[in-house]
Structure 1
Amino acid sequence: MTRERDFADPRIPNRDECVLRYLLDRWADERTDKAHIVFADGEEWTFGELQKMVRAKAAGLRELGIKQGEHVAVWLPNGREALIAFYAINYIGAVFVPFNTAYRGNLLEHVIANSGARFLLVHPDLIPRLSEVDLAALERLVVTSGTQPASAPLPMTPFESVSGAEDDYLPLDHPIEPWDIQSIIYTSGTTGPSKGVLSSYLHMFSNAGPESWPMVGEDDRYMCVAPIFHIGGMGPPFVMLARGASVAMIDNFSTDEFWSVAKATKSTMVFLLGVMATFLLKAEPGPGDRDHTVKKAFMVPLTGDAPAFTERFGVDIYTIFNMTEISSPVVSEANPTKIGTCGKVRDGVEVRLVDRNDCEVAIGEIGEMLVRTDRPWAMNSGYNANPEATAEAWRNGWFHTGDAFRRDEDGYFYFVDRVKDAIRRRGENISSFEVEADVCSHPTVREAAAIAVPSEYSEDEVMVVVAPVPGQTIDPRALAEFLIDTMPYFMVPRYIRVLDELPKTPSAKVMKAELRTEGITADTWDREAAGLRVRRESFSA
């Protein structure tokens, strides 16, 4: 059925193609009995059932006094209540503002103040942390199921009582437009206070819509294992809603249960971020390796293990470069053969690699990636209540990603490092990403973080912090000897520290700032002190 266009500009999709409220209503009408949300325990919500739940909860939020365009803070773990809150908040045209459940102290105080929210939907176990901080503009806590606290720093309303008659959901001050703000997602805060990324509905749609993720269709089911306060956890339901498709909402990633959960939920696609693919490959082979329904997987970053992953698990691999602020500017074809690539620039996006003065670098040289899009509102609308950071990121009309890349003659892009994570040793620029890839190729290493630490000579020394594969032990000397044979001499780490687990944010990003602050600890092994030195190779004509 052909629908009349809402907007004269052909780059702007109709409201019922990109705005959550109208998308849900459309599919509830056209695909009433199709499952949209499934859970690991087997429960399913069809579009029709979900619409009824969302409308009732949205009516209750309006009765609480939440207005269209208002920021509503949500401090919840993954689960049914967090998902209903997300949809209901957007259904009345309010802005979904999730908080990381690990926040406390100064960081919690910072995001509460930055959000400007009057209402906080909160899990009862998190309420004691609120007594430690300034609550800024917060007026009321909406408390989800669980043991209700005897006291709290603000008036409380049980979330289960937030409900209204279905016909009370209708009033809106004005139509919800594609360029209206849909969410504020806070950056991971690994190096400083988190920034709140302002995302419009059109940004979320462009982030993984048909033109950016053409490999995803209406018959797919996306298994989501990331927390809902992260773009990787909040984005999948929206991605699949835009297609009239379904999503399996899983509490967290588990190596041991991954394939069995994928099979039980009939998931067809997954997103493997960071070390997830490594964990799965280094697990003991089992009968579940091919006994599942997954057909497609995004692997980020794309490592040399990709062909082995496809061979073992029977899954087509794609890769991508994206971040909360942008909209998938670089995407690969299926099973790319150029290992380490992020893909090519997709249609509708412009990408430049530049030096520190925003001057373009030559093909093959390293530069910071800048991005802009043809479609209006297809990227972030700035950082909430932070004009300085917005101006810095958007200078000269381009968004500055803070990530260093190189591009080859065929137009493929390769991630080199976060600009701030680059290491310089003895006159050589070193990619921490490339160091980590080589270190993780050792059979005993499950994950690694490469950081710069001060050198007694000048510039930096390379240090790696590693965690072992379950059941294995990492011998620092044996690892160093392995790396001497596999790495350029100037990249071989001088320092190796072994931990059971690397410190991470709940969005699975390694907290390198914490590791840099700890620096060379008493349990750090020093290759040079152990008498294991690496010498520059010499060549003669």
Structure 2
Amino acid sequence: MKLGTMLDTTVLRHPDKEALAYEHQRFTYTELRHRALKAAQVLTDNGIRPGDVVGIMTFNVPGFVFAAFGAWYLGATVVPINHKFQAPEVKYTVEHSGAKLGIVSTELAETARAGGPDITWLETEPSAPGSFDTQLDAAEEAVPGDFTDEQVAQILYTSGTTSSPKGCVHTHRSISQVATLINLNMGYRADDRYLICMPIWHSAPLNISLVPTLQTGGTVVLQRAYHPVDSMKIIAEEGITTFFGPTVAYVAPIMTAKKLGIDFSDYDFSSIRRWNYGGSPIDRSTAGMLIDTYGTNQFYNLFGMSEMGPTGCLLGPEDQLRKAGSVGRTAMIGNAMRVVRADGAEAGPGDTGEIWFAGDTRMREYLGNPQATEAAFDGEWYKTGDLARLDEDGYLYIVDRSKDVIIVGGENVFSLEVEEAVIAHDRVADVAVVAKPDPQWGEQVVAVIATTDGEAFDVEELRDFLSDKLARYKLPREVIITEELPRNPSGKLLKHQLRSQVAAG
């Protein structure tokens, strides 16, 4: 199904129901469709045609939703751009995706234009002449484009096996299947109200929060950006039933309440049906603390990746303590999963193997990278690169990531990308970037460095050097100095040794 058609069907079922809420703004499903079709006309007026690529780099604001559905009605492709990116990262995304137009929050416009100077960036939120919002108000509804659901809808950028991020190509059909699968597995209903306070450009808030909620006729409540106090207050104010965030989004409100002298029990969570989390599993002590503090066991760990939409498997409330740290036992309904040992055999209890997924939510390919596409697929199966151990009951526990992805508060950080930025410093002779377990953020970035002069290297000096090259969440929180990094005879870094050393302190 085309994503515009999906929205059309919800309009038919719930024309006057609240679809989107942002601060004091409210939009019914009829109004959402109207503004999406007007957005399609704005894109057309700015030279976008079916098959063209539109980058969207905003906070969680209605303009993102209008622009995305406008592009999908038109038959254009949406590339969500991380609002934390610095200019070099924007440049790579714009150039690699072939974006011809950008929609950007005003506060991010300077960085966006520095990274993509050769395309037009329309600002959303201001009423200035020529802005996206001004053009949207003046536009007529466009006629939806003539294309099939095999048209590309999204290019989701993710870290891969090289230092450059890869673009996961998803069609209207695969994303609509993601929505259907999530609704089936999570039981979302038309009376649900989903708070999106995590960045909407991320594949999880976009495709497991926004799109499924609009498919089923629920209400999406946008918060411009997450805040450990304000996000908790919005839950009661808006009657939120579903919340999604990484582990830190649950721990931070508790820590902040203690710091500010707030009684956490004063927060009203009576409307909540589901506390969803992702990015990394939660250990038993943290799980117990969250269940006690939030007063419910209704936590769901959604494990997936952008290549699958993101879908995969989940760990439900009944297993949060019993199987703490696991990502689940079976694939979500609608997907298939295998765990494959290094010898190609199916993994059994006690074995470790690579997780493979198959299903209609799988990406078509990595954009412009046939070699990486071929390496990632085995027939219908996507090979995740995540290694998991199976316990005696068949539950999966991630033991390593063959792609060296570090997950910081739900954000993927590819170590090679950070290493290439660090090695440019004139005092760095060699570097390895690894993850250090962190009870609040899941993992933190640690740089193990051999310096050219053998002297100490302050972490703040490194962070200052990297501040205009990498997003803040990618910056190392700790620097460890070593005389020589461990490598095998072929020169490959022995990162498992470094991870063990870093974890041991």
Whether the TM-score (by the shorter chain) exceeds 0.5 is yes
Q: Which has the higher helix share?
A: 2
Q: Is the 8 A contact 2:198 2:245 kept in 1?
A: no
Q: Is the 8 A contact 1:57 1:163 kept in 2?
A: no
Indicate how the Cα distance of structure 1 residues 233 and 446 shifts in structure 2: closer, same or farther if over 3 A, else same. Answer: closer
Query: Which one of the candidate residues 79, 82, 92 is aligned to 1:110?
Result: 92
Q: Is the 8 A contact 2:232 2:253 kept in 1?
A: no
Indicate how the Cα distance of structure 1 residues 188 and 223 shifts in structure 2: closer, same or farther if over 3 A, else same. Answer: farther
Indicate how the Cα distance of structure 1 residues 387 and 274 shifts in structure 2: closer, same or farther if over 3 A, else same. Answer: farther
Q: Does 1:96 align with 2:70?
A: no
Displacement of 1:169: 1.9
Indicate how the Cα distance of structure 1 residues 422 and 86 shifts in structure 2: closer, same or farther if over 3 A, else same. Answer: closer
CA distance in 1, matches of 2:116, 2:277: 40
CA distance in 1, matches of 2:15, 2:405: 51
CA distance in 1, matches of 2:81, 2:228: 26
Q: Deviations over 1:308-328 (max 9, x none)?
A: 323332341122211111142
* Aligned position for 1:214: 186
Q: Is the 8 A contact 1:124 1:148 kept in 2?
A: no
Q: Which residue identity does 1:78 align to in structure 2?
A: N
Q: Is the 8 A contact 2:159 2:405 kept in 1?
A: no
Q: Is the 8 A contact 1:260 1:292 kept in 2?
A: no
* Aligned position for 2:228: 255
Q: Deviations over 1:252-274 (max 9, x none)?
A: 22212232111112110111313
Indicate how the Cα distance of structure 1 residues 171 and 217 shifts in structure 2: closer, same or farther if over 3 A, else same. Answer: closer
Q: Does 1:339 align with 2:324?
A: yes
* Aligned position for 1:385: 368
Q: Is the 8 A contact 2:50 2:145 kept in 1?
A: yes
* Aligned position for 1:29: 12
Q: Which residue identity does 1:347 align to in structure 2?
A: I
* Aligned position for 2:63: 81
CA distance in 2, matches of 1:498, 1:172: 51
Indicate how the Cα distance of structure 1 residues 54 and 95 shifts in structure 2: closer, same or farther if over 3 A, else same. Answer: same
CA distance in 1, matches of 2:37, 2:205: 22
CA distance in 1, matches of 2:5, 2:198: 25
Equivalence map 1:219-368=2 (5 Å): 219-235=191-207, 236-282=209-255, 283-284=257-258, 285-300=263-278, 301-304=281-284, 305-315=286-296, 316-326=298-308, 327-336=310-319, 337-345=322-330, 346-356=332-342, 358-368=344-354
TM-score by length of 1: 0.70
Unaligned runs of 5+ in 2: 407-433, 451-458, 483-502
CA distance in 2, matches of 1:60, 1:498: 44
Q: Secondary structure at the match of 1:161?
A: helix
Indicate how the Cα distance of structure 1 residues 48 and 352 shifts in structure 2: closer, same or farther if over 3 A, else same. Answer: same
CA distance in 2, matches of 1:117, 1:272: 29
Q: Is the 8 A contact 1:38 1:265 kept in 2?
A: no
Q: Is the 8 A contact 2:198 2:244 kept in 1?
A: no
Q: Secondary structure at the match of 2:33?
A: helix
Q: Is the 8 A contact 2:339 2:346 kept in 1?
A: yes
* Aligned position for 1:461: none
CA distance in 1, matches of 2:442, 2:186: 31
Q: Does 1:511 align with 2:474?
A: yes
Equivalence map 1:448-487=2 (5 Å): 449=444, 453=448
Q: Secondary structure at the match of 2:11?
A: helix
CA distance in 1, matches of 2:272, 2:26: 19
Q: Which residue identity does 2:444 align to in structure 1?
A: A
CA distance in 2, matches of 1:406, 1:509: 32
Displacement of 1:511: 3.0
Deviates more, 1:288-297 or 1:414-423: 414-423
Query: Which one of the candidate residues 402, 410, 416 is aligned to 1:419?
Result: 402
Indicate how the Cα distance of structure 1 residues 134 and 269 shifts in structure 2: closer, same or farther if over 3 A, else same. Answer: closer
Q: Is the 8 A contact 2:75 2:146 kept in 1?
A: no
Displacement of 1:203: 2.3
Displacement of 1:80: 1.9
Displacement of 1:160: 1.6
Q: Deviations over 1:503-531 (max 9, x none)?
A: 999x999537x468x4439xxxxxxxxxx
Q: Secondary structure at the match of 2:481?
A: coil
Q: Does 1:203 align with 2:184?
A: no
* Aligned position for 1:160: 134
Indicate how the Cα distance of structure 1 residues 344 and 361 shifts in structure 2: closer, same or farther if over 3 A, else same. Answer: closer
* Aligned position for 2:499: none
CA distance in 1, matches of 2:380, 2:242: 35
